Amino acid sequence: MHEKILTEVEKLENQIVNTLIRLCSIPAVSPHNGGEGEDKKIQELEKIIHELGLADKAKIKYEYVDDDKAPSGKRPSLFLEYPGKKSQRLCILSHVDVVPGGNLKPFVQGSKLYGRGVCDNGAGLVPSLFALKALLNAGLESEYTVLLAFVADEETGSHYGLEKLIERDLFRPDDLVLVPDWGNEKGDFIEIAEKSVLRLHFKVTGKQVHAAYPNRGLNACRVANMLAYEVDEALHKAFIEENKIFEPPFSTFEPTRRFANVPNVNTVPGEENFSFDCRVLPEISLDEVQDLVEKICKEIETSLDGWGSKIELQVEKSPAPAPTSPDSEVTRLLIKNIREVLKLEPFLGGVGGGTLAAFFRQKNIPAVVWSQVSEDSMHQPDEFIEIKFLVNNAKVFALMMAEAI
C-alpha cells in the first residue's frame, strides 16, 4: 500500500510545481504591510480544490475575521474536511499570506522553484493538497478524517487568522495537528517546543535643538543609545541559562527596530523610538525580564534628572506553552513516516517562538512543526524551494493520512 501511495505522489510532481506557481503568482501580502490580503489567493485555492476533485466528498468552509484595513473588511481562511475511516482528524495547517518583496513571478531554474511564498508556506500548503489527491488516485481511503486548514495573517502575528479562529471550536482536543511551516533541508528536525516571546518598545523623550547648540537641549538619540546598550548588557548577564533542546540553546535579546527621528543632520532629536525582540527560554520568568528592564529605565531617567528626559516602555508578552510530548500520537506518527520516506532518524527540538503550533499547545492540543524546506531562503529576496522537497513533503503527509500509528 505504501509503495502505491508514494508512486502516485511522484506522478503528481509536475502538477505540484505548476499549482504552486499558479498560487504564488497571486500576491497575498497583509494590508498591514501595504498589500491587499489573501482574498484572491484563497479564491484561486478553492478553484484548485474543485479541479482536483477534492470537493466531491469534502466539506469546504470559509472563516472570516474582521479587519478594517482589508479591502473587503475581512480576512479569509479556508477549511477542507475530507472524511476518513476514523472520525479523529489529522489536521495539516498552512498559511496563505506571504511577506512583502522578493520575486513576484515564480519560475523554475534547475532543481529549484523560485518566488515569494514557494517555500514559506507553499512548501506545506500545496503538498498537503496533493497528498490527499495521491491517496484518492491510489483508490485508498484515509485512515483519519483529513482537515486541511489554509489560514490568513500568519506573517503579521495571526491576529486576523488563527488567534481568532482557534476560539471558535473549529479544532478538537483529539486532533493530530501538523504545521508544515518550518524545518530544515535534511528533513530530520521536528519542532515540539518554542521559547517565550517578549517584545520591548521604548520611547525616549528629550528636547530638540539646533546641533550647533546641543547644550540647550537633551539629545534623545544619545539617551536611547545609552539605554539600548545598558538593556542589552544587563539582560545577557542576568539570564545565562541554557536548554539544549533549543537552537540556539540560550535566550536571545536583540535590538531590532529603530524608527526615523529627524530628517536633517544638523538637528538634535527630541524623540527616539526603538524595539527589542527577545526569545526567552520557557523556564525564565518574563516578569523578571521586564522588571530588570524597568529598573534600568528608571536608573537612566534618574541620572538625567533635571534634564527633562522621559522613558516610556511598552511590553508585548507571549509566554511559551508546554511542549508537545515526544510520546504524543502526532509526534510518533510523523516520526514513523519521515523514517519511511527519507530513510533517516529525525530529532526533536525547539525554536525561538512564533509558530502556529503555539496556539494549539496553549489549548492543550498536541501540535508538531515539520517540513523539508530550504530554510535559509525564507523571507529572502530570492526565496526558493527544492522541487524534490515538495514531493517528499507530500509523501510524508500522504502516509500520515493513510495509516494510523
Q: Which residues are part of the catalytic machinery?
A: 97, 154
HEC string of the chain? CHHHHHHHHHHCHHHHHHHHHHHHCCCCECHHHCCCCCHHHHHHHHHHHHHCCCCCCCEEEEEEEECCCCCCCEEEEEEEEECCCCCCEEEEEEECCECCCCCCCCEEECCEEECCCCCCCHHHHHHHHHHHHHHHHCCCCCCCEEEEEEECCCCCCCCCCHHHHHHHCCCCCCCEEEECCCCECCCCEEEEEECEEEEEEEEEECECEECCCHHHCECHHHHHHHHHHHHHHHHHHHCCCECCCECCCECEEEEEEECCCCCCCCEECCEEEEEEEEEECCCCCHHHHHHHHHHHHHHHHHHCCCCCCEEEEEEEEECCCCCCCCCCHHHHHHHHHHHHHHCCCCEEEEECCCCCHHHHHHCCCCEEECCECCHHHCCCCCCEEEHHHHHHHHHHHHHHHHCCC
Residue 256 burial class via C-beta count within 10 angstroms: exposed 0-12, middle 13-18, buried 19 and up:
exposed
271-280: strand order across its sheet: 252-258, 271-280, 196-205, 310-318
The number of beta carbons lying within 10 Å of the beta carbon of residue 364 is 9
